[in-house]
Each structure stands twice: as structure tokens, then as C-alpha cells.
Amino acid sequence: MKKASEILTSHNKFHINLGLQRISKVMELLKNPQDNYKIIHVAGTNGKGSTCKIINEILIEQGLKTGLFTSPHLFSYTERIKINNKNIDENVFDKLTNEIDSLAKENEIELSEFELITAVAFYYFNLQKVDYVVLEVGLGGNFDATNIIKNSTQIITTIDFDHTERLGKTIEEIALQKAGIIKENSNIAIAKDNQGFKIIQKIAKEKNSKILDLPEIKIIFEEKNYALIEKEKFEFNLLGVHQAKNLALALGAINSLNLDIKKETIKKALKNVSWKFRLEYIKNKNILIDAAHNPSGAKVLRDFLDENFKNTPKTFIFGCLKNKEYEKMLDILIKEDKFYFYEFNYPNALKYEELPKKYKAKKISSLEELKEIISCDSNLKIFCGSIYMLGKIFDKILL
């Protein structure tokens, strides 16, 4: 039996042919397991992962068996498929990936990497008889492999420019792709100041679906981080004022499920929720790690730094994929800061030679150099950019 990772990496990753025909055929052969549990479906440009994690933690704290499907992963594909915060067992993952890959090939269905792992997740969640699945869209919404589900509660997080080569060059075009997850007679959580709100509102009306009311939330940092929900303090484990929107979306969706969730359950969940490499501050090492990989994500990171580390000397360690808007990101992030560019080994990764000279970046090519910076540089060290880069770095460097 082949390892799941071997099979998945042999499938196409970057040349994606969006569409639902292939995965629909495979799921029909598996008797559509995705129809056997309730789903909260989350699309958007930024904030999907954090919103998913908040909902996941609340449902688990409520005592519900909860599946979570997110992407990409940091260290192992098994991170993408969890039940009650436990990764799918590697042997089970290998077995199911082999089974579904063979089934697809026998029926001459050529699945992409993401389609295959999505099929595995849907099948696994049904085998384990979960109550709910929190489902993160991979790319866009309309033609994303996760969008073969029939019924769901939908959440649409911040809409901004990313993957414009596939989703469109305008906010309206991108919003239309995200709106593809909206189902007939369903509930949708979206903030009214979302750039794509009018498009989502129009599609919701056409589908006789309801846009949910959201609670008023602020994030405040005192000795600890708190969410101020309807003027009451809840200790909250996710940093950054932008998390107020993600939390409001999560609670709006949760409230629509009619699960009679008590305030104490919410409090415990918010105190425990975590999302690795999203404004993750490691105080004893003076390190901040954030998977900002597009201009809007870069702005969130820069705003957080300006608010909380305004007068702190900073060292940026940055790397990203070449199809990202890295110049816009760097224009937002880099001020009078020390700047290193990490050339990491990954398909489609940006090379140092492709980086404009105006950024005056110093090149890092090895983990040994990174370790020296971590141990010798007294500045706040900010690792940001591609999540693939962060996974490669911190899989080898233990903090």
C-alpha cells in the first residue's frame, strides 16, 4: 500500500482545473457520504481558518462530534482532516486515500490533489459518524471541490484580491465565486462592511436565503487578550483586532443552529481556541509568526505590529510563492525594518533573483542561518509569507 502523501503529491497541485464533475462522480460511487451530516461551509479571502477553528471549538465544547477540514497543512496532510481536534490516523489516511484513488482510476476519473483529499475527508467523516463538519473552501467557492454538498450554513469571511488569475480581477467577480456556496433556503453569515456584501445579498435574495444578524464584538488587549461581546468580556486566545469580525461570523452562524449553547460553553471554547501561525507570538523567543500571504493579510499583520509593537525594532523573514502579489505585500510590511528573504525549497516558490532590488533584502538559504538569526538577533523576529515556507522552517526548528 502506498503512503497517502506519495499519492497526493503525484496529483496536480498548481495547475488546477476547477469544476465539480470529477469529484461528484467519485462521491456518487461512494454513495454521497457528505449528505449524512450537518455542515458549516466557510468561504472568503482571509479569516477562513480562524473562523473555522472558533466554530469547531464551540461545537466540541458543546459535546458534539465535530469534523474539521482545512487547508493547506503545515507539516502533514493528516492535519487537514480532524475529528474533535485529533488528526486522522496515518494508517487510516493511507488506506482511504489508496481506496478512493483506485476507485477514481478504475472509473477513469482524474482527480486533482485537493479533490482527492476532499473526497477522503467526506468519506472519513461519515465512517466516524460525526454530528457536524466545519468545512473550509479550498479556492473560490462556486467550483471548489467542497461545494458538492447539498445543505449547509454558510459563512463568507473578508473578500479581497487573491488568486485573481482564477477568481477574477474585480471584487464583484471574486464575490460571485464566493457566493457560489450559497444554497437555497439557507442561512448566511457575512459582515455588512464586507466588500462583496451587495453581491452576496443579491444572490441570497435570489435563493430565498437569510443573511444572519451578527453580534457586536471588539477585541481588546490588556494583560490578556479579550473579546468584548455585547459589552461583556470573554478571554480569547486569538490575537488581532481583525479577529472581531471572524468571531462575529462564527457566533452568528452558531446562533442560527439552535443548539442552546450556554454562555459558559462559549467562554471555555474561546479561551481554548488556537490557530497555529496566525499572529502566533512566542514571547520567550521574541518571535511572531503569521501566515500573511496576500496584501490584505499583510495589512492585518502590519496594523497589529503598529498597534502592539510600534517602537520595537523589527526583523522580517519573508518568503512566498511567485504567483502571489509579493510586491504589494512588501510595500505594506517593510518600513525601516531589517529584512531577510528566505529562499525555501518548494514548487513555485519565489527566488531571490526575482525579488526587486529596491527591497534591499538579505538572502537566507539555509536553516543554519535562520537558527543564528533566532539566537543572535535581539529584534522582534517576524516570520511571514507562505504557509508552506513556515511549515518547512518550523518542522526543522523547534521553538
Whether residue 348 is predicted with pLDDT greater than 90 in this model: the reply is no
SS3 state of residue 90: helix
- C-alpha to C-alpha distance for 196 and 207, rounded to whole angstroms: 17
* Last-in-domain residue among 260, 291, 313: 260
* Last-in-domain residue among 260, 289, 318: 260
In a domain, 224, yes or no: no
- Single out the residue of 269, 241, 275, 239 nearest to residue 254, CA to CA: 269
Same structural domain, 89 and 205: yes
- C-alpha to C-alpha distance for 204 and 153, rounded to whole angstroms: 12
- Which tens digits make up the pLDDT trace of 56-76? 999 999 999 999 999 988 889
What CATH number should be reported for the domain holding residue 69? Answer: 3.40.1190.10
In a domain, 226, yes or no: no
Q: Which domain holds residue 292?
A: 280-396
- Single out the residue of 265, 23, 269, 42 nearest to residue 134, CA to CA: 42
Confidence of residue 123 (pLDDT cuts 50, 70, 90): very high
pTM above 0.85, yes or no: yes
In a domain, 227, yes or no: no
In a domain, 111, yes or no: yes
Same structural domain, 243 and 351: no
Same structural domain, 190 and 334: no
What CATH number should be reported for the domain holding residue 294? Answer: 3.90.190.20
Same structural domain, 211 and 80: yes
Contact 310, 331 (CB under 8 A): no
Contact 9, 72 (CB under 8 A): no
Same structural domain, 251 and 106: yes
Question: Crossing angle, helix 387-396 and helix 367-376, to 10 degrees?
Answer: 80
Higher pLDDT, residue 139 or 121: 121
In a domain, 9, yes or no: yes
- Which tens digits make up the pLDDT trace of 292-310? 888 988 999 999 999 889 9
Same structural domain, 51 and 182: yes
- C-alpha to C-alpha distance for 391 and 341, rounded to whole angstroms: 16
Contact 48, 159 (CB under 8 A): no
Whether residue 10 is predicted with pLDDT greater than 90 in this model: the reply is no
Confidence of residue 323 (pLDDT cuts 50, 70, 90): confident
In a domain, 22, yes or no: yes
